[in-house]
Amino acid sequence: MTHDRPPRDQRDLRERIAVRFFRTVNPLTRRMILAGVPTGAPNVLLLVPGRRSGIERTMPVTVLDFEGHTYVQATYGASGWGRNLKAAEKVTVVHSGGRRSLVRPAEIPPGEAAAILQRALAPCHQSRLLRRLLGPRVRPPAGILRLVRIRIDDTPQEYLAEAQRHPLFELRPA
């Protein structure tokens, strides 16, 4: 258990629904990306070796292309594939249609990640309704928010809290 996230049984209902939604949709998204079918978002597959087992895990993620850099945000927080990505030296990115590339993931410190997220989403319209619906802890990946031109957070402190809950990684060419 991480210190930045409540135990599963104490999660907010909105957070439990979001996690269940992503876990239900991810198998379909994996197949769509491999087949080259548009998913409606800038999605790729990350093939990340397990930090203890070394077994390669496949996770569909949304990328954020911003200022010449490519980022991914740990959707479930600093657990699971986020910890595997943090521990990995190199990972494989599978683009739509099966094209592969090798990248080096680098975790962005929360303060810098907050600034990146704020700059990336600054031109987007703030949705207070979506913020109320999602609550204080649930956020779609920054790549999706930028695609639909909506931001939920507004102050630097809110972006920092988001960056601490959901780490941001830069994917650098290997």
Q: What structural domains and CATH numbers belong to the chain? A: 8-173 (2.30.110.10)
pLDDT in tens, 50-103: 989 989 988 899 999 999 999 999 877 767 788 999 999 999 999 998 899 999
Check if the beta carbon of residue 43 is closer than 8 Å to that of residue 60.
yes
User: What's this model's pTM, rounded to 2 decimal places?
Assistant: 0.85
Percent pLDDT > 70 in the chain is 93
Count of C-beta atoms within a 10 Å radius of residue 79: 13
Non-local CB neighbours of 107 within 8 Å, separated by 6+ positions? 85, 86, 167, 168, 169
**What whole-number distance in Å separates Cα of residue 74 and Cα of residue 95?**
18
* Chain centre to alpha carbon of residue 53: 23
**What whole-number distance in Å separates Cα of residue 152 and Cα of residue 159?**
9
Residue 80 token pair: 């699971």
Check if the beta carbon of residue 63 is closer than 8 Å to that of residue 55.
no
Q: Residues 151-170: what's their mean pLDDT?
A: 94
- Tell the residue number behind the tokens 């876990």, with chain if given: 23
* Chain centre to alpha carbon of residue 140: 8
